[in-house]
Amino acid sequence: MSVIGWRTTVLAAAAIAGAATGASAQLSPGEQRGRALALANCARCHAIDKVSPSPLSLAPPFRTLHRRYPVETLDEALAEGIVTGHPSMPEFRLEPDQIGDFIAFLKSLER
Ligand code: HEC
């Protein structure tokens, strides 16, 4: 197979995968792991995509966090447990490698 043919095949496959799985197909593996963490732990209250309103209207959609502070600054909070003072948000703690993935995912919402 020629190089051009191979690349076209890969691009077509990526386009099909993108249509099937939505935005997550454009994410790196780390970003996808971060998204999975958000989906499992945060999505019942926070919007974790680029368009939806949060299921719990009080909870800021994750795509808006970077307007308030650089999302990197959440790393300490994620390691120590986010405590926003809001009783409906459970305390939550991540391992260091999960924090990197999670922040990478948050950053992916900015592009
Ligand atoms: C049960 C609902 C609920 C879940 C689950 C939840 N949150 Fe929240 N979160 C909230 C609410 C409500 C607020 C707004 C709190 C406030 O403004 O006092 C909030 C606020 C936040 C903020 C903004 C804090 C600030 O002061 O800027 C961050 C960051 C955040 N949540 C991260 C997370 C992460 C990460 C997860 C998943 C690990 C998560 N939340 C899961 C309800 C939730």
Write out pLDDT tens, residues 52-65: 999 999 999 999 99
Nearest residue (by CA) to ligand 1, atom 40, is 42
Residue 72 contacts residue 7 (beta carbons within 8 Å): no
As a whole number of angstroms, the distance between CA 4 and CA 107 comes to: 32
pLDDT, average across residues 79-95: 76
Per-residue CA distances from 110 to 2, 3, 19, 37 (Å): 36, 33, 21, 18
pLDDT band at 93 (very low <50, low <70, confident <90, very high): confident
The tokens of 86 are what? Answer: 């809001």
As a whole number of angstroms, the distance between CA 32 and CA 85 comes to: 29
Lowest mean pLDDT among 6-15, 66-75, 95-104: 6-15
pLDDT, average across residues 56-77: 93
Ligand 1 environment, Cβ below 6 A: 41-42, 44-46, 56, 58-60, 65, 68, 74, 82, 84-86, 88-90, 92
Nearest ligand 1 atom, CA 102: 35
Report pLDDT for 17: 46
99 by Cβ neighbours in 10 Å (0-12 / 13-18 / 19+) ranks as: buried
**Residue 28 pLDDT > 80:** yes
As a whole number of angstroms, the distance between CA 51 and CA 61 comes to: 9
Mean pLDDT of all residues belonging to the chain: 82
